[in-house]
Chains A and B, each alone.
Chain A
Amino acid sequence: DGGITQSPKYLFRKEGQNVTLSCEQNLNHDAMYWYRQDPGQGLRLIYYSQIVNDFQKGDIAEGYSVSREKKESFPLTVTSAQKNPTAFYLCASRTRGANTEAFFGQGTRLTVV
């Protein structure tokens, strides 16, 4: 079955450590996105990529980094520079072009301890 997979589902990190969240899709989608979700805040765009080896900052990119070396994969690294990393992180993908639906992964809940 085609879909988008995020791992792990739950992640705990000590302050000062970097951590990488995985996002893999087998939908043959060109575009991939990372959103952060906090209670009562909706979804906010961190980074997006419309093609391999290219990505752009979203609205809240500070303290995060990404790579897009393969079409199927778009990992997100939460660095120690991110002041408040505890949140629910959602990855999405869609076919390239305007006005197509986005498919979301099940999310990773990151907690800093």
Chain B
Amino acid sequence: QQPVQSPQAVILREGEDAVINCSSSKALYSVHWYRQKHGEAPVFLMILLKGGEQKGHEKISASFNEKKQQSSLYLTASQLSYSGTYFCGTASPYSGGGADGLTFGKGTHLIIQP
């Protein structure tokens, strides 16, 4: 079953912050975040492995609450280059850490306006 992402879409002005949520009905072992520009390949952002873990990548960070089976992606002081569709991919404890393939959400469309 696909994880649920929210919101489905968000429009921001450059410099504003955004939060994208990913929620699963199944136990999670890890959460992977990707960004995809239209017609291009998804690009890896980060993997979160432990409950409560937070990771950062420039002005993009994420958290993972294993107990709640949720992850959130935080984009601060957004830039025009952040526009695209963000996907979370989840791995269950029984999937070899995602070796059997990730289960992706439907994506969140992020539009950054100047």
Interface residues of A in 1-56 (CB under 8 A from B): 31, 33, 35, 40-45, 48, 50, 56
Complex Cα spacing A29 to B109, Å: 30
Interface of B is mostly: loop
Given contacts A42-B2, A45-B101, A96-B99, contact A107 B44 (CB under 8 A): no
Does A99 lie within 8 Å of B87, measured CB to CB?
no
Given contacts A42-B2, A90-B41, A107-B39, contact A99 B97 (CB under 8 A): yes
**Which B residues touch A44, using CB under 8 A?**
104
Given contacts A41-B106, A43-B87, contact A98 B41 (CB under 8 A): no
**Which A residues touch B100, using CB under 8 A?**
48, 56
Complex Cα spacing A50 to B98, Å: 11
Chain B CB within 8 A of A102 CB: yes
Total B residues in contact with A, Cβ cutoff 8 Å: 27
Given contacts A90-B42, A98-B98, A102-B44, contact A40 B106 (CB under 8 A): yes
Among the listed A42, A100, A107, which residue makes an inter-chain contact with B87, where contact means beta carbons less than 8 Å apart? A42
* Nearest-neighbor residue (CB-CB) of A105 within chain B: B41
A42-B87, A107-B41 provided; 7 other pairs, C-beta below 8 A?
A: A40-B106, A48-B100, A99-B47, A99-B49, A99-B98, A101-B44, A102-B32
